[in-house]
Amino acid sequence: MIKVLIVDDEKPICDLIDMNLSAAGYQCRAVQDGLEAIDLIEKENFDLILLDVMLPGVDGYDIMEYIRPLKIPVIFITARHEVRDRVKGLRLGAEDYLVKPFEVVELMARVEVVLRRYNKTQRLLRAGDVVVDVEARKVTKAGRPVVLTNKEYGLLVLFMRNKNIALFRERLYEKVWGDEYYADSRTLDLHVQRLRRKMGWEENLVAVYKVGYRLEIDE
C-alpha cells in the first residue's frame, strides 16, 4: 500500500486530505509540526510527502533540504502563491506545487501523476526482459515464470522501482525486512546473490561501495 505523509499546520486540511486519500486506498500519516515531521521521516518509510511551507518548528523549505537526499517525492501545498515561492520550492526538488485553497480532485490528480512518475502505481514493472505484476505478485523473465521467496520479491520490486539509483543497505533492510531488521547480518548479500542468479542480473545488480546496491538498467 502506498504510504503518504501529510504535513500541514491546519488540522482541518490534514483531516480533509487524509479522508480523501484513505478513501482512495492510500495509507496516511498526518502531523502539524515541522520537527515532528522530520522525526517521522527518520522512523518510517513514505512513498510521498505532502508538505506545507509555513510550519511551526521547522519550515517546509528546510524540511525539503532534509528530504531531498532520501529521494522521496514531495508536493508542496501552501498558501504562498507568489511565483518566486513556487520557483524556490521546485528548485529545492519538489515534484509539484499546489496553492491553497485547492480542489480535492486536483490534489488527487497531482498525487497520481507524481506516483506514476516514480513507478509506484504501475501494475506492471519492467526492467529489460523482467516483468513484475505487482497486483498478481507474479514475476516473469523472457516470458517464463520465476519463483522467488518473499524477501527476494520485496528486493526485486524495490530495485525495479528505483532503477539506476543507489539504495542504502539500511533502507533495503528496513523496506524488506521491517521489524526483522539487523544491520550486522550478511542476509542481504545472500539474498542479492540469489536474486542476481535468478534474474540473470550478474552484471546489472551491482554493489555500491559503502552504500548498498544499484540496479543498472538502460531505460
* pLDDT at residue 193 in the model: 96
Residues 103 and 23 in one domain: yes
Residues 88 and 187 in one domain: no
CATH number assigned to the domain comprising residue 176: 1.10.10.10
* pLDDT at residue 155 in the model: 94
Inform me whether the pLDDT recorded for 65 exceeds 80: yes
Residues 7 and 112 in one domain: yes
| Domain extent for 24 | 3-117
List alpha helices for 2-149, DSSP H: 11-23, 34-43, 60-67, 83-91, 104-117
* Mean pLDDT computed over every residue of the chain: 88
154-176: average pLDDT: 86
pLDDT-based confidence at residue 6 (cuts at 50, 70, 90):
very high
Structure-block grid coordinates of residue 82: 507568489
pLDDT-based confidence at residue 154 (cuts at 50, 70, 90):
very high
| Last residue within a domain, chosen from 117, 142, 170 | 117
CATH number assigned to the domain comprising residue 59: 3.40.50.2300
94-108: average pLDDT: 89
pLDDT-based confidence at residue 81 (cuts at 50, 70, 90):
confident
Residues 31 and 55 in one domain: yes
Greater confidence, 76 or 175? 76
| Last residue within a domain, chosen from 117, 135, 162 | 117
pTM over 0.75: no
Please, what is the end-to-end C-alpha distance for the chain in angstroms? 26
For the CA atoms of 105, 106, 112, 118, the dihedral, rounded to the nearest 10 degrees, stands at: -160
pLDDT-based confidence at residue 17 (cuts at 50, 70, 90):
very high
